[in-house]
Amino acid sequence: MRFVLRLLSPLIGLVVAAIGAITTIEVVTAWLAPASSPLVVPWPAWRDGLDGLTWSSGAVRTIAIVVGVVGLLVLLVGLVARRHDVALTDPVPEVTVTTSPRSLARAVGHEVRSHADVVSASVVASQKKVVVKAGTLDAPEDVRTAVRERVDEVLTRLPLAHRPRVSVSVAATKGVK
């Protein structure tokens, strides 16, 4: 979602800048040479078309609804795109400490992959949940217990403000021959 926001911000800025530049060109043209106006935008025809509209016209209401919906969508994209950091315990009241979910997943993943019986692992972390999927050549239930203990050990060592739920799944993989 942050990618969408990073893409939308410059595009909206460019559109606003283009509208400002065109408006400036039209105003300067209307002041300096009223006979040759309009230069780019047919604003006299638009003005004549808008003379018959009132606030209760269907077109005005439709445009207002569309602008409102687009504004709410942009607001929603902005709210969803915010960072979802994992809070750590604060060393002193004046200091707030956080880490990214990616860093938490890396720490847990490093510990899981260091287990001798784990041949592959993927970890997804958030402030509320850590999901570990591991592959092994041995019996999955035995390895699952060991991996779960390692994940619990890592989460105990880290100064997390709130301990996330942990989900560990281990599947048997075929050996490379």
- Both 68 and 109 in one domain: the answer is no
Mention every residue, 6+ apart, whose C-beta is less than 8 A from residue 15.
Answer: none
- Both 52 and 105 in one domain: the answer is no
> 12: closest CA among 74, 69, 62?
74
Query: What's the pLDDT at 5?
Result: 77
Query: What's the pLDDT at 3?
Result: 78
User: Would 93 be classed as within a structural domain?
Assistant: no
> 2: closest CA among 99, 83, 104?
83
User: Would 86 be classed as within a structural domain?
Assistant: no
Phi, psi of 170 (to 5 degrees): -125, 130
CATH of the domain at 166: 3.30.300.20
- Per-residue tokens: 131: 């999901």
User: Which residue range(s) make up the domain with 7?
Assistant: 2-80
* Block mean pLDDT (10 aa), the chain, length 177: 79 94 91 84 86 89 96 87 83 88 94 91 93 91 91 92 93 70
- Per-residue tokens: 122: 């993927």
Query: What's the pLDDT at 175?
Result: 59
User: Would 177 be classed as within a structural domain?
Assistant: no
Question: What's the domain count of the chain?
Answer: 2
User: Would 92 be classed as within a structural domain?
Assistant: no
- Both 14 and 74 in one domain: the answer is yes
Q: Read off the pTM.
A: 0.58
Question: CA-CA distance, 25 to 40, in Å (whole number)?
Answer: 8
- Both 111 and 56 in one domain: the answer is no
